[in-house]
Structure 1
């Protein structure tokens, strides 16, 4: 379970007593990301905005990296928004809805993927939710929830609580066949799993960068297929979203044809520098190499959970999971175990009725071993 350990030791300087198993919440910054932020801050303090054009070149590089991450060669379709919730809101309140239409999704979604669709109720749009606890075929049951009034299927690629990974290609094929738009929240998969825009059939892809991509909070990917960019109504306006943003005296303006039309104001260039550096690490290692490394760590955890007689709540089949492993210790309340783990430097989350561990490719076997030993000790105590 190693990957040129010396290289990773140079990139991740985590406290050896800390078991960081919370990439599904907020991932640690690699050293190169910390250094990029420090350089940006130092240059800003010493030179002001003299290097602004170079900062914008970094932003351009980031758009290309994000496009490659989702399997696209069209960086013009990438917008940089504040977070996943904002991106979902742009879609929800940009589509030209008709009264009586509906959105199909999943009941156990993170609140951002419920609230934004529920907010359409005053416009006569209904959110129809699949209960995963009652489904043995989530893709088939999602499609079965659709009717002639379904305008959009909106789901997370990987469910945040227990880590169920959906077969996007199956859902996407159904959407194309029935003229339904397909929105994918990829926040729990990008950086951990290969993503194919073509195979998924997604019309919209959204994801914050602060989880599996090792980036900062406050910057998110928003992909809108060219066919839908112009049809999404705009509700945020400013100097940056126009076709000629450098012409401050123009009065006859039009929105930019690129996805930048959804970016109303000044870019978050500090976060841009951070995320661009983090994605350079993912590209250096390679997502095709990262995915099996994460799978190894998840397999290790499942074996350790089984050996101790704990209850696995995450899917057991590798094709049904990404990097999230949620489990429960019998006769021990997760509400009690979680704060005890955090107090003992096991960085995790309480989700889906259990304890959620989310290792990344750099997580060592020593970290996993120490974390499970602490779980066992605290459960007995």
Structure 2
């Protein structure tokens, strides 16, 4: 993996839950694409479309979707959530349930529906079983549950398959923000019964910012009204002589204009690496790193791990705090020492990936230990 991730020797990169480094093949794909643009313009556009088709197929395989035609390419998780939120029909008194640990993307968009008379209910998943806490909030007025598969600050992994069963039995729409798990953990829409899945590619999928997955279950697709229109979202895309048009039958109906071809080339290359290694092996190696990180943190004085430590409840995030040291101060000191991390949830967040060498974790722990002293 050293050839794919030639990270600078002076940094310890533990921030994949924020923005991941690209694998070398993504850099090469973008360089090749840039050279083609500079030398040949759009002469190779038909080949670029094949890369776009390959990306849709890889994304559909990654989430276990039935067909690449179920995959739309959005600009971001927030945009994808907004397409869902403002595409569904709402009535006064309708309820949406989220958790009290959601990233703002999966909170603000639902809060914005208050002027339509929609009530947002927030389940406290900080103590006890998260699925049960959400299920307790369900009433006959509940229309949708939206949850992050892994919580960005605590690292809590939700039992999304079980929650999906609860939603299906209650005839409730189910939306999963999978940005903190796709590329790190197995995911299957057939098993979790999701109606919607959203995820930007710049975290565990190791792609660029500005390109996201939007999955809409085929039998729910017509429930999403459109508010963006253009040449790309029509059935006969590319036939510019037509004076009439109709909405595309597949997920491209949610893509109003020209695709982000630069991002498509990069993300497709990154996902090819995930495909080659296999998501099960990636999860195994990532969890080995997480176990090692927890073990090393637990050996330090005055360190409290805030994230779940059981394998059933953890993704790729370990958040911790140190007694008598302000977490923001500690974060700043770690960053100055080239330990690339984040300050989240009242602590410092470390998030290695499957390829992260143990030596990188060891170096971060050595620096942390010196700061504690």
- Of residues 285, 288, 292, the one that matches 2:284 is 292
- Of residues 293, 297, 313, the one that matches 1:305 is 297
User: 1:192 aligns to what SS in structure 2?
Assistant: coil
1:116-265 matches, cutoff 5 A: 116-133=109-126, 135-265=127-257
Q: 2:24 corresponds to which residue?
A: 31
- Of residues 10, 14, 17, the one that matches 2:7 is 14
Q: 2:100 corresponds to which residue?
A: 107
How many angstroms apart in 2 are the aligned matches of 1:73 and 1:274?
24
User: 1:342 aligns to what SS in structure 2?
Assistant: helix
Equivalent residues of 1:338, 1:349 under 8 A apart: yes
**How many matched pairs?**
372
Equivalent residues of 1:107, 1:114 under 8 A apart: no
Equivalent residues of 1:230, 1:257 under 8 A apart: no
Q: 2:323 corresponds to which residue?
A: 330
Q: 1:4 corresponds to which residue?
A: none
How many angstroms apart in 2 are the aligned matches of 1:55 and 1:323?
33
Equivalent residues of 1:240, 1:264 under 8 A apart: yes
User: 2:96 aligns to what SS in structure 1?
Assistant: strand
User: 1:120 aligns to what SS in structure 2?
Assistant: helix
- Of residues 58, 64, 67, the one that matches 1:65 is 58
Equivalent residues of 1:237, 1:264 under 8 A apart: yes
Equivalent residues of 1:102, 1:149 under 8 A apart: yes
Q: 1:229-284: CA deviations, max 9, x gaps? A: 11101011111001111122323211100000000000000000000000000011
1:47-66 matches, cutoff 5 A: 47-66=40-59
How many angstroms apart in 1 are the aligned matches of 2:338 and 2:55?
33
Instruction: Give the TM-score taking structure 1 as reference length.
Output: 0.97
Equivalent residues of 2:125, 2:134 under 8 A apart: no
Instruction: Kindly report the root-mean-square deviation, in angstroms, between the aligned alpha carbons of the 2 structures.
Output: 0.8
How many angstroms apart in 1 are the aligned matches of 2:347 and 2:241?
57
How many angstroms apart in 1 are the aligned matches of 2:324 and 2:233?
55
User: 2:28 aligns to what SS in structure 1?
Assistant: helix
Gaps of 5+ in 2: none
User: 1:267 aligns to what SS in structure 2?
Assistant: coil
Q: 1:5 corresponds to which residue?
A: none
Runs of 4+ in 1 over 6 A off after TM superposition: none
How many angstroms apart in 2 are the aligned matches of 1:48 and 1:138?
52
Gaps of 5+ in 1: 1-7
How many angstroms apart in 1 are the aligned matches of 2:173 and 2:309?
30
Q: 1:293-319: CA deviations, max 9, x gaps? A: 010110011111111131010001111
